[in-house]
Structure 1
Amino acid sequence: MSGTETPVLAVLRGDKHPPDMEPIEEAAVVRYTDADGLADALRGADALFVYDFLSSAVPAAWHAADRLRWLHIASAGVDPVMFPELRESDVVLTNSRGVFDDSIAEYVLGQILAFAKDLPRSLRLQAQRTWQHRESERVQGRSVLVVGTGPIGRSIARLLKAAGLRVSGAGRRERAGDPDFGTVYASDRLTEYLPEMDYVVAVAPLTEQTKGMFDARAFAAMRPQARFINVGRGELVVTADLVEALRTGAIAGAGLDVFDTEPLPPESPLWTMDNVLVSPHMSGDFIGWRNALVEVFADNFWRWRAGEPLRNVVDKKLGYVPSSG
Protein backbone atom coordinates (compact mmCIF):
# COMPACT_ATOMS: atom_id res chain seq x y z
CA MET A 1 0.00 0.00 0.00
CA SER A 2 1.03 3.65 -0.22
CA GLY A 3 3.59 4.64 2.38
CA THR A 4 1.87 8.03 2.88
CA GLU A 5 -1.57 6.63 3.64
CA THR A 6 -2.43 5.76 7.25
CA PRO A 7 -3.87 2.25 7.18
CA VAL A 8 -6.73 0.99 9.31
CA LEU A 9 -5.91 -2.28 11.08
CA ALA A 10 -8.50 -4.45 12.80
CA VAL A 11 -7.12 -6.77 15.49
CA LEU A 12 -9.20 -9.71 16.71
CA ARG A 13 -7.63 -10.09 20.11
CA GLY A 14 -9.91 -12.41 22.07
CA ASP A 15 -9.32 -12.25 25.83
CA LYS A 16 -5.59 -11.47 25.46
CA HIS A 17 -4.16 -8.17 24.26
CA PRO A 18 -1.26 -8.73 21.86
CA PRO A 19 2.04 -7.45 23.28
CA ASP A 20 4.57 -5.13 21.65
CA MET A 21 2.05 -3.37 19.41
CA GLU A 22 3.10 0.20 20.23
CA PRO A 23 5.18 0.81 17.05
CA ILE A 24 2.29 -0.39 14.89
CA GLU A 25 -0.18 1.76 16.82
CA GLU A 26 1.94 4.78 15.88
CA ALA A 27 1.80 3.88 12.17
CA ALA A 28 -1.83 2.78 11.82
CA VAL A 29 -5.32 3.31 13.14
CA VAL A 30 -5.68 0.15 15.21
CA ARG A 31 -9.11 -1.18 16.13
CA TYR A 32 -8.93 -3.85 18.83
CA THR A 33 -12.03 -6.00 19.06
CA ASP A 34 -13.51 -9.22 20.31
CA ALA A 35 -15.66 -11.52 18.21
CA ASP A 36 -18.87 -9.56 18.86
CA GLY A 37 -17.38 -6.32 17.54
CA LEU A 38 -15.46 -7.76 14.61
CA ALA A 39 -17.93 -6.71 11.91
CA ASP A 40 -17.83 -3.10 13.07
CA ALA A 41 -14.02 -3.17 13.22
CA LEU A 42 -13.79 -4.58 9.68
CA ARG A 43 -15.76 -1.77 8.04
CA GLY A 44 -13.21 0.42 6.28
CA ALA A 45 -10.27 -1.67 7.55
CA ASP A 46 -7.34 -2.32 5.22
CA ALA A 47 -5.92 -5.27 7.15
CA LEU A 48 -6.97 -7.79 9.77
CA PHE A 49 -4.68 -9.36 12.36
CA VAL A 50 -6.34 -12.50 13.75
CA TYR A 51 -4.39 -12.67 16.99
CA ASP A 52 -7.08 -14.89 18.53
CA PHE A 53 -6.21 -17.68 16.12
CA LEU A 54 -8.68 -20.16 17.63
CA SER A 55 -11.63 -17.87 16.98
CA SER A 56 -14.23 -18.85 14.40
CA ALA A 57 -15.63 -15.32 14.20
CA VAL A 58 -14.17 -14.19 10.88
CA PRO A 59 -16.59 -15.92 8.45
CA ALA A 60 -19.68 -14.43 10.13
CA ALA A 61 -18.20 -10.91 10.07
CA TRP A 62 -16.78 -11.11 6.56
CA HIS A 63 -19.71 -9.26 4.97
CA ALA A 64 -18.38 -6.08 6.57
CA ALA A 65 -14.90 -6.39 5.02
CA ASP A 66 -15.50 -3.74 2.38
CA ARG A 67 -11.90 -2.60 1.97
CA LEU A 68 -9.74 -5.44 3.29
CA ARG A 69 -6.57 -6.29 1.38
CA TRP A 70 -4.57 -8.42 3.81
CA LEU A 71 -5.35 -10.89 6.60
CA HIS A 72 -2.68 -12.29 8.92
CA ILE A 73 -3.40 -15.12 11.37
CA ALA A 74 -1.22 -15.72 14.42
CA SER A 75 -0.81 -19.45 13.83
CA ALA A 76 0.63 -21.87 11.32
CA GLY A 77 -2.74 -23.49 10.68
CA VAL A 78 -5.18 -21.35 8.71
CA ASP A 79 -8.29 -23.55 8.79
CA PRO A 80 -10.30 -21.09 10.99
CA VAL A 81 -10.23 -18.57 8.12
CA MET A 82 -10.36 -20.85 5.09
CA PHE A 83 -13.98 -20.22 4.18
CA PRO A 84 -15.20 -19.88 0.57
CA GLU A 85 -15.57 -16.09 0.52
CA LEU A 86 -11.95 -15.59 1.58
CA ARG A 87 -10.68 -18.21 -0.85
CA GLU A 88 -12.44 -16.48 -3.71
CA SER A 89 -11.42 -12.95 -2.73
CA ASP A 90 -8.31 -10.94 -3.61
CA VAL A 91 -7.37 -10.64 0.07
CA VAL A 92 -3.82 -11.84 0.69
CA LEU A 93 -3.58 -14.38 3.53
CA THR A 94 -0.41 -14.84 5.58
CA ASN A 95 0.33 -17.01 8.60
CA SER A 96 2.89 -17.33 11.39
CA ARG A 97 4.84 -20.24 10.01
CA GLY A 98 8.18 -20.75 11.73
CA VAL A 99 7.35 -19.66 15.28
CA PHE A 100 6.48 -23.05 16.70
CA ASP A 101 8.68 -25.42 14.68
CA ASP A 102 11.38 -26.20 17.23
CA SER A 103 9.17 -26.21 20.31
CA ILE A 104 6.74 -28.66 18.73
CA ALA A 105 9.67 -30.86 17.71
CA GLU A 106 10.84 -30.89 21.33
CA TYR A 107 7.34 -31.80 22.46
CA VAL A 108 7.22 -34.75 20.06
CA LEU A 109 10.60 -36.02 21.26
CA GLY A 110 9.36 -35.64 24.84
CA GLN A 111 6.28 -37.71 24.08
CA ILE A 112 8.35 -40.46 22.50
CA LEU A 113 10.71 -40.55 25.48
CA ALA A 114 7.77 -40.55 27.89
CA PHE A 115 6.35 -43.65 26.21
CA ALA A 116 9.68 -45.42 25.83
CA LYS A 117 10.79 -44.78 29.40
CA ASP A 118 7.34 -45.35 30.90
CA LEU A 119 7.41 -41.97 32.64
CA PRO A 120 3.63 -41.63 33.19
CA ARG A 121 3.57 -44.91 35.11
CA SER A 122 6.58 -43.82 37.14
CA LEU A 123 4.64 -40.72 38.21
CA ARG A 124 1.59 -42.80 39.11
CA LEU A 125 3.72 -45.22 41.14
CA GLN A 126 5.52 -42.34 42.85
CA ALA A 127 2.18 -40.88 43.92
CA GLN A 128 1.38 -44.30 45.43
CA ARG A 129 4.86 -44.58 47.03
CA THR A 130 5.28 -47.87 45.18
CA TRP A 131 8.73 -49.17 44.23
CA GLN A 132 8.23 -51.25 41.07
CA HIS A 133 11.26 -52.01 38.94
CA ARG A 134 10.64 -52.21 35.20
CA GLU A 135 12.64 -52.34 32.00
CA SER A 136 12.29 -49.54 29.46
CA GLU A 137 12.55 -49.30 25.70
CA ARG A 138 15.34 -47.79 23.61
CA VAL A 139 14.44 -45.08 21.12
CA GLN A 140 17.57 -45.44 19.03
CA GLY A 141 16.79 -47.27 15.81
CA ARG A 142 13.02 -47.02 16.21
CA SER A 143 11.10 -46.06 13.06
CA VAL A 144 9.05 -42.86 12.87
CA LEU A 145 6.73 -41.64 10.13
CA VAL A 146 6.13 -37.88 10.21
CA VAL A 147 2.92 -37.18 8.31
CA GLY A 148 3.31 -33.60 7.10
CA THR A 149 6.55 -32.40 5.53
CA GLY A 150 6.27 -28.65 6.08
CA PRO A 151 8.61 -26.68 8.35
CA ILE A 152 7.25 -28.16 11.60
CA GLY A 153 7.53 -31.68 10.22
CA ARG A 154 11.10 -30.98 9.13
CA SER A 155 12.08 -29.71 12.58
CA ILE A 156 10.57 -32.84 14.09
CA ALA A 157 12.49 -35.02 11.65
CA ARG A 158 15.82 -33.33 12.35
CA LEU A 159 15.47 -33.59 16.13
CA LEU A 160 14.31 -37.21 16.08
CA LYS A 161 17.15 -38.18 13.77
CA ALA A 162 19.60 -36.53 16.18
CA ALA A 163 18.13 -38.70 18.95
CA GLY A 164 18.84 -41.81 16.90
CA LEU A 165 15.43 -42.62 15.46
CA ARG A 166 14.94 -43.66 11.84
CA VAL A 167 12.70 -41.03 10.25
CA SER A 168 10.67 -40.95 7.06
CA GLY A 169 7.93 -38.61 5.93
CA ALA A 170 4.55 -38.62 4.22
CA GLY A 171 3.55 -35.70 2.00
CA ARG A 172 1.86 -34.78 -1.24
CA ARG A 173 4.66 -36.12 -3.44
CA GLU A 174 6.56 -39.37 -3.07
CA ARG A 175 10.32 -38.96 -3.40
CA ALA A 176 13.69 -40.20 -2.22
CA GLY A 177 16.76 -38.34 -1.05
CA ASP A 178 14.97 -35.67 0.98
CA PRO A 179 17.52 -33.86 3.20
CA ASP A 180 15.41 -34.22 6.36
CA PHE A 181 13.23 -37.28 5.79
CA GLY A 182 15.26 -39.41 3.43
CA THR A 183 12.22 -41.12 1.95
CA VAL A 184 8.93 -39.27 1.62
CA TYR A 185 5.89 -41.44 0.95
CA ALA A 186 2.68 -40.26 -0.67
CA SER A 187 0.03 -39.47 1.94
CA ASP A 188 -2.71 -41.02 -0.17
CA ARG A 189 -0.95 -44.40 0.20
CA LEU A 190 -0.50 -44.04 3.95
CA THR A 191 -1.81 -47.45 4.97
CA GLU A 192 0.89 -49.16 2.89
CA TYR A 193 3.65 -47.76 5.11
CA LEU A 194 2.05 -47.59 8.54
CA PRO A 195 2.77 -51.26 9.36
CA GLU A 196 6.52 -50.51 9.32
CA MET A 197 6.41 -47.76 11.94
CA ASP A 198 6.96 -47.70 15.70
CA TYR A 199 5.77 -44.09 15.99
CA VAL A 200 3.45 -42.09 13.74
CA VAL A 201 3.45 -38.31 14.14
CA ALA A 202 0.58 -36.31 12.63
CA VAL A 203 1.49 -32.71 11.78
CA ALA A 204 -0.23 -32.28 8.41
CA PRO A 205 -2.28 -29.14 7.71
CA LEU A 206 -6.03 -29.56 7.84
CA THR A 207 -7.45 -29.70 4.31
CA GLU A 208 -10.28 -31.57 2.62
CA GLN A 209 -7.74 -34.26 1.73
CA THR A 210 -6.33 -34.69 5.24
CA LYS A 211 -9.51 -34.40 7.31
CA GLY A 212 -10.18 -37.74 9.00
CA MET A 213 -7.12 -39.36 7.43
CA PHE A 214 -6.41 -41.27 10.65
CA ASP A 215 -9.47 -43.48 10.82
CA ALA A 216 -10.20 -47.11 11.64
CA ARG A 217 -8.46 -48.27 8.47
CA ALA A 218 -5.31 -46.34 9.30
CA PHE A 219 -5.17 -47.53 12.91
CA ALA A 220 -5.79 -51.12 11.80
CA ALA A 221 -2.76 -50.85 9.52
CA MET A 222 -0.47 -49.83 12.38
CA ARG A 223 1.42 -52.42 14.39
CA PRO A 224 0.10 -53.18 17.92
CA GLN A 225 3.32 -51.82 19.45
CA ALA A 226 3.02 -48.46 17.66
CA ARG A 227 2.27 -45.11 19.27
CA PHE A 228 0.39 -42.27 17.59
CA ILE A 229 1.22 -38.61 18.30
CA ASN A 230 -0.96 -35.75 17.03
CA VAL A 231 0.41 -32.20 17.03
CA GLY A 232 -1.37 -31.14 13.82
CA ARG A 233 -5.11 -30.69 14.02
CA GLY A 234 -7.70 -32.69 15.95
CA GLU A 235 -9.80 -33.07 12.81
CA LEU A 236 -7.06 -35.15 11.19
CA VAL A 237 -8.33 -37.97 13.40
CA VAL A 238 -11.64 -39.79 13.64
CA THR A 239 -11.72 -39.70 17.42
CA ALA A 240 -14.11 -42.61 17.92
CA ASP A 241 -11.86 -44.80 15.77
CA LEU A 242 -8.80 -43.77 17.78
CA VAL A 243 -10.54 -44.55 21.07
CA GLU A 244 -11.51 -47.98 19.77
CA ALA A 245 -7.97 -48.68 18.54
CA LEU A 246 -6.57 -47.77 21.95
CA ARG A 247 -9.23 -49.74 23.81
CA THR A 248 -8.73 -52.93 21.79
CA GLY A 249 -4.93 -52.75 21.66
CA ALA A 250 -4.78 -52.16 17.91
CA ILE A 251 -2.15 -49.55 18.82
CA ALA A 252 -0.14 -49.24 22.02
CA GLY A 253 -0.69 -45.60 22.89
CA ALA A 254 -1.31 -42.02 21.83
CA GLY A 255 0.13 -38.64 22.71
CA LEU A 256 -2.50 -36.03 21.90
CA ASP A 257 -2.13 -32.25 21.99
CA VAL A 258 -5.03 -31.39 19.67
CA PHE A 259 -8.62 -32.61 19.50
CA ASP A 260 -11.63 -32.20 17.27
CA THR A 261 -13.44 -30.61 20.22
CA GLU A 262 -11.46 -28.27 22.45
CA PRO A 263 -11.35 -28.16 25.40
CA LEU A 264 -11.53 -31.95 25.48
CA PRO A 265 -14.92 -32.75 27.05
CA PRO A 266 -14.74 -34.13 30.62
CA GLU A 267 -16.66 -37.22 29.53
CA SER A 268 -14.12 -38.18 26.87
CA PRO A 269 -12.63 -41.64 27.54
CA LEU A 270 -9.24 -40.30 26.44
CA TRP A 271 -8.83 -38.61 29.84
CA THR A 272 -8.73 -41.90 31.76
CA MET A 273 -6.87 -44.24 29.41
CA ASP A 274 -3.52 -45.31 30.85
CA ASN A 275 -1.98 -45.47 27.38
CA VAL A 276 -2.89 -41.87 26.44
CA LEU A 277 -1.02 -38.64 27.18
CA VAL A 278 -3.28 -35.58 26.95
CA SER A 279 -2.08 -31.98 26.80
CA PRO A 280 -4.24 -28.87 26.18
CA HIS A 281 -3.06 -27.67 22.75
CA MET A 282 0.22 -26.37 24.16
CA SER A 283 2.94 -28.24 22.26
CA GLY A 284 4.23 -25.08 20.60
CA ASP A 285 3.64 -22.60 23.40
CA PHE A 286 7.07 -21.80 24.80
CA ILE A 287 7.65 -18.91 27.18
CA GLY A 288 7.53 -15.78 25.01
CA TRP A 289 5.50 -17.26 22.17
CA ARG A 290 2.98 -14.42 22.14
CA ASN A 291 5.75 -11.87 21.60
CA ALA A 292 7.17 -14.05 18.83
CA LEU A 293 3.80 -14.12 17.06
CA VAL A 294 3.58 -10.34 17.11
CA GLU A 295 7.16 -10.12 15.79
CA VAL A 296 6.15 -12.15 12.74
CA PHE A 297 3.09 -9.98 12.17
CA ALA A 298 5.08 -6.77 12.67
CA ASP A 299 7.70 -7.85 10.13
CA ASN A 300 4.96 -8.38 7.56
CA PHE A 301 3.22 -5.16 8.56
CA TRP A 302 6.29 -3.06 7.75
CA ARG A 303 6.76 -4.97 4.49
CA TRP A 304 3.13 -4.32 3.61
CA ARG A 305 3.46 -0.62 4.42
CA ALA A 306 6.54 -0.41 2.19
CA GLY A 307 4.96 -2.35 -0.67
CA GLU A 308 7.46 -5.20 -0.28
CA PRO A 309 6.66 -8.91 -0.73
CA LEU A 310 5.05 -10.49 2.31
CA ARG A 311 6.40 -13.58 4.02
CA ASN A 312 4.37 -16.74 4.64
CA VAL A 313 1.80 -16.09 1.91
CA VAL A 314 -0.76 -18.90 1.99
CA ASP A 315 -1.90 -20.56 -1.23
CA LYS A 316 -5.64 -20.33 -0.61
CA LYS A 317 -6.35 -23.25 -2.91
CA LEU A 318 -3.96 -25.54 -1.04
CA GLY A 319 -4.66 -24.17 2.44
CA TYR A 320 -1.03 -23.65 3.47
CA VAL A 321 2.21 -21.93 2.50
CA PRO A 322 3.74 -23.90 -0.39
CA SER A 323 7.17 -25.38 0.18
CA SER A 324 9.34 -28.14 -1.17
CA GLY A 325 7.47 -30.54 1.12
Structure 2
Amino acid sequence: MRVLIAEHDHARYAELLREAMPELEVLTSNDSAELSRQAPQCPVWLGQPDLLASLLRQGHKPEWMQSTWAGITPLLAEGLPRDYRLTRAVGIFGQVMAEYMLTYMLGHEREVLSRLVSQVERRWDDRPGRSLEGRKVLIVGAGDIGQRVAEFLVPFGVTLYGIASSAR
Protein backbone atom coordinates (compact mmCIF):
# COMPACT_ATOMS: atom_id res chain seq x y z
CA MET A 1 0.00 0.00 0.00
CA ARG A 2 1.15 3.53 -0.76
CA VAL A 3 0.91 6.39 1.70
CA LEU A 4 1.42 10.04 0.78
CA ILE A 5 2.83 12.32 3.46
CA ALA A 6 2.13 16.05 3.05
CA GLU A 7 3.69 17.54 6.15
CA HIS A 8 6.42 20.11 6.84
CA ASP A 9 8.23 17.49 8.95
CA HIS A 10 7.58 14.80 6.32
CA ALA A 11 10.98 13.13 6.75
CA ARG A 12 10.31 12.35 10.41
CA TYR A 13 6.81 11.02 9.68
CA ALA A 14 8.18 8.87 6.86
CA GLU A 15 10.89 7.47 9.13
CA LEU A 16 8.35 6.58 11.84
CA LEU A 17 5.98 4.95 9.35
CA ARG A 18 8.74 2.92 7.75
CA GLU A 19 9.91 1.70 11.17
CA ALA A 20 6.38 0.72 12.18
CA MET A 21 5.37 -0.84 8.86
CA PRO A 22 8.29 -1.56 6.52
CA GLU A 23 5.92 -3.02 3.92
CA LEU A 24 4.37 0.41 3.28
CA GLU A 25 5.52 2.42 0.29
CA VAL A 26 5.83 5.97 1.59
CA LEU A 27 5.82 8.84 -0.90
CA THR A 28 6.59 12.37 0.21
CA SER A 29 8.27 15.59 -0.78
CA ASN A 30 8.69 19.18 0.33
CA ASP A 31 7.79 20.27 -3.21
CA SER A 32 4.07 20.89 -3.80
CA ALA A 33 4.31 19.97 -7.51
CA GLU A 34 5.88 16.63 -6.62
CA LEU A 35 3.17 15.96 -4.01
CA SER A 36 0.57 16.68 -6.68
CA ARG A 37 2.22 14.14 -9.02
CA GLN A 38 2.34 11.52 -6.24
CA ALA A 39 -1.19 12.02 -4.86
CA PRO A 40 -3.13 9.99 -7.49
CA GLN A 41 -0.96 6.94 -6.74
CA CYS A 42 -1.78 6.96 -3.01
CA PRO A 43 -5.07 5.82 -1.50
CA VAL A 44 -3.95 7.02 1.95
CA TRP A 45 -2.79 10.55 2.76
CA LEU A 46 -1.22 11.73 6.00
CA GLY A 47 -0.48 15.35 6.76
CA GLN A 48 -1.39 18.91 7.50
CA PRO A 49 -4.91 19.95 6.50
CA ASP A 50 -3.65 23.08 4.72
CA LEU A 51 -1.34 21.05 2.48
CA LEU A 52 -3.90 18.29 1.98
CA ALA A 53 -6.60 20.84 1.04
CA SER A 54 -4.30 22.12 -1.70
CA LEU A 55 -4.17 18.61 -3.20
CA LEU A 56 -7.96 18.33 -3.01
CA ARG A 57 -8.30 21.69 -4.82
CA GLN A 58 -6.20 20.24 -7.64
CA GLY A 59 -8.75 17.45 -8.14
CA HIS A 60 -6.94 14.67 -6.27
CA LYS A 61 -8.75 12.63 -3.65
CA PRO A 62 -7.71 9.84 -1.27
CA GLU A 63 -9.73 6.96 0.05
CA TRP A 64 -8.56 7.82 3.56
CA MET A 65 -6.98 10.99 4.91
CA GLN A 66 -5.31 11.21 8.34
CA SER A 67 -4.79 14.75 9.58
CA THR A 68 -1.79 15.51 11.80
CA TRP A 69 -3.72 18.40 13.36
CA ALA A 70 -6.60 18.31 15.82
CA GLY A 71 -8.45 20.86 13.67
CA ILE A 72 -9.57 20.22 10.11
CA THR A 73 -10.87 23.68 9.11
CA PRO A 74 -8.89 23.94 5.81
CA LEU A 75 -10.55 20.72 4.64
CA LEU A 76 -14.02 22.22 5.13
CA ALA A 77 -13.51 25.00 2.56
CA GLU A 78 -16.22 25.58 -0.02
CA GLY A 79 -15.96 23.35 -3.06
CA LEU A 80 -13.65 20.70 -1.61
CA PRO A 81 -14.78 17.07 -1.87
CA ARG A 82 -15.87 15.30 1.30
CA ASP A 83 -16.47 11.79 0.04
CA TYR A 84 -13.44 10.16 1.61
CA ARG A 85 -12.70 8.80 5.09
CA LEU A 86 -11.22 11.51 7.32
CA THR A 87 -9.57 10.97 10.69
CA ARG A 88 -7.72 13.50 12.82
CA ALA A 89 -5.19 13.58 15.62
CA VAL A 90 -6.84 13.51 19.05
CA GLY A 91 -5.56 13.04 22.57
CA ILE A 92 -2.05 14.35 21.92
CA PHE A 93 -2.35 18.15 21.94
CA GLY A 94 -3.97 18.74 25.35
CA GLN A 95 -0.80 19.32 27.36
CA VAL A 96 0.91 21.51 24.75
CA MET A 97 -2.16 23.65 24.08
CA ALA A 98 -2.89 24.04 27.80
CA GLU A 99 0.67 25.29 28.35
CA TYR A 100 0.34 27.65 25.38
CA MET A 101 -2.98 28.99 26.68
CA LEU A 102 -1.67 29.47 30.22
CA THR A 103 1.43 31.26 28.92
CA TYR A 104 -0.66 33.83 27.08
CA MET A 105 -3.20 34.27 29.85
CA LEU A 106 -0.49 34.94 32.43
CA GLY A 107 1.40 37.15 30.00
CA HIS A 108 -1.74 39.20 29.43
CA GLU A 109 -2.74 39.51 33.08
CA ARG A 110 0.78 40.32 34.26
CA GLU A 111 1.34 42.69 31.30
CA VAL A 112 4.64 41.02 30.54
CA LEU A 113 5.32 42.78 27.23
CA SER A 114 4.78 46.33 28.51
CA ARG A 115 6.87 45.54 31.59
CA LEU A 116 9.63 44.23 29.35
CA VAL A 117 9.59 47.52 27.44
CA SER A 118 9.93 49.36 30.76
CA GLN A 119 12.93 47.21 31.66
CA VAL A 120 14.59 47.84 28.31
CA GLU A 121 14.00 51.57 28.75
CA ARG A 122 15.34 51.31 32.32
CA ARG A 123 12.10 52.67 33.77
CA TRP A 124 10.60 51.39 37.01
CA ASP A 125 7.10 50.04 36.43
CA ASP A 126 5.35 50.05 39.79
CA ARG A 127 1.87 49.06 38.60
CA PRO A 128 0.48 46.22 40.67
CA GLY A 129 0.25 43.00 38.71
CA ARG A 130 -3.15 41.43 38.05
CA SER A 131 -3.99 37.85 38.96
CA LEU A 132 -6.01 35.13 37.29
CA GLU A 133 -7.71 34.44 40.62
CA GLY A 134 -11.38 35.33 40.49
CA ARG A 135 -11.43 35.72 36.70
CA LYS A 136 -14.13 34.04 34.61
CA VAL A 137 -12.92 31.80 31.77
CA LEU A 138 -15.05 30.40 28.98
CA ILE A 139 -13.62 27.36 27.21
CA VAL A 140 -15.26 26.62 23.87
CA GLY A 141 -14.85 22.91 23.22
CA ALA A 142 -14.64 20.34 25.99
CA GLY A 143 -12.57 17.70 24.23
CA ASP A 144 -9.05 16.73 25.22
CA ILE A 145 -7.65 20.22 24.70
CA GLY A 146 -10.46 22.03 26.50
CA GLN A 147 -10.32 19.62 29.42
CA ARG A 148 -6.55 20.00 29.80
CA VAL A 149 -6.85 23.81 29.71
CA ALA A 150 -9.48 23.59 32.46
CA GLU A 151 -7.24 21.31 34.56
CA PHE A 152 -4.38 23.79 34.22
CA LEU A 153 -6.56 26.72 35.29
CA VAL A 154 -8.19 25.16 38.37
CA PRO A 155 -5.23 25.89 40.71
CA PHE A 156 -5.35 29.57 39.71
CA GLY A 157 -8.79 30.07 41.26
CA VAL A 158 -10.65 30.97 38.09
CA THR A 159 -14.36 30.33 37.55
CA LEU A 160 -14.63 28.00 34.59
CA TYR A 161 -17.41 27.73 32.02
CA GLY A 162 -17.39 25.30 29.13
CA ILE A 163 -19.31 24.92 25.90
CA ALA A 164 -19.49 21.58 24.10
CA SER A 165 -21.57 20.12 21.30
CA SER A 166 -22.65 17.29 23.61
CA ALA A 167 -22.88 16.84 27.38
CA ARG A 168 -19.70 15.74 29.14
Query: What is the TM-score normalised by the length of structure 1?
Result: 0.46
Tell me by how many angstroms 1:25 deviates: 6.4
In the alignment, what sits opposite 2:26?
30
- Give the match's secondary structure for 2:50: coil
In the alignment, what sits opposite 2:112?
119
- Kindly indicate whether the alpha-carbon contact (under 8 Å) linking 2:72 and 2:88 is maintained by their aligned counterparts in 1: yes
Which residue, 6, 17, 21 being the options, matches 1:12?
A: 6
- Separation in structure 2 between the aligned mates of residue 154 and residue 127 of structure 1, nearest angstrom: 38
In the alignment, what sits opposite 1:293?
none
Q: Following superposition, which runs of at least 4 residues in structure 1 exceed 3 angstroms of deviation?
A: 83-86
Gaps of 5+ in 1: 1-6, 174-323
In the alignment, what sits opposite 1:94?
87
Tell me by how many angstroms 1:85 deviates: 5.1
Tell me by how many angstroms 1:168 deviates: 0.6
Which residue, 115, 122, 136 being the options, matches 1:143?
A: 136
Tell me by how many angstroms 1:43 deviates: 1.8
Query: Which residue identity lines up with residue 28 of structure 2 in the other structure?
Result: Y
Query: Which residue identity lines up with residue 154 of structure 1 in the other structure?
Result: Q
Tell me by how many angstroms 1:129 deviates: 0.8
- Kindly indicate whether the alpha-carbon contact (under 8 Å) linking 2:2 and 2:26 is maintained by their aligned counterparts in 1: yes
Tell me by how many angstroms 1:95 deviates: 0.9
Which is richer in helix?
2
- Give the match's secondary structure for 1:43: helix
How many residues align? The count is 162
- Kindly indicate whether the alpha-carbon contact (under 8 Å) linking 2:50 and 2:75 is maintained by their aligned counterparts in 1: no
Which residue, 160, 164, 181 being the options, matches 2:153?
A: 160
- Separation in structure 1 between the aligned mates of residue 94 and residue 104 of structure 2, nearest angstrom: 16
CA RMSD of aligned residues (A): 2.2
In the alignment, what sits opposite 2:43?
46
In the alignment, what sits opposite 1:253?
none
- Separation in structure 1 between the aligned mates of residue 88 and residue 76 of structure 2, nearest angstrom: 12
- 1:63-86 Cα offsets, whole Å, 9 max, x none, are 343xx3211111001122235554
Q: Percent identity?
A: 22
Tell me by how many angstroms 1:24 deviates: 4.8
In the alignment, what sits opposite 1:229?
none
Tell me by how many angstroms 1:92 deviates: 1.6
Query: Which residue identity lines up with residue 149 of structure 1 in the other structure?
Result: A
- Separation in structure 1 between the aligned mates of residue 101 and residue 3 of structure 2, nearest angstrom: 36
Query: What is the TM-score normalised by the length of structure 2?
Result: 0.83
Matches within 5 A, 1:220-299: none
Query: Which residue identity lines up with residue 71 of structure 2 in the other structure?
Result: G
- Kindly indicate whether the alpha-carbon contact (under 8 Å) linking 1:109 and 1:159 is maintained by their aligned counterparts in 2: yes
Q: Are 1:108 and 2:101 matched, yes or no? A: yes
Tell me by how many angstroms 1:147 deviates: 1.7
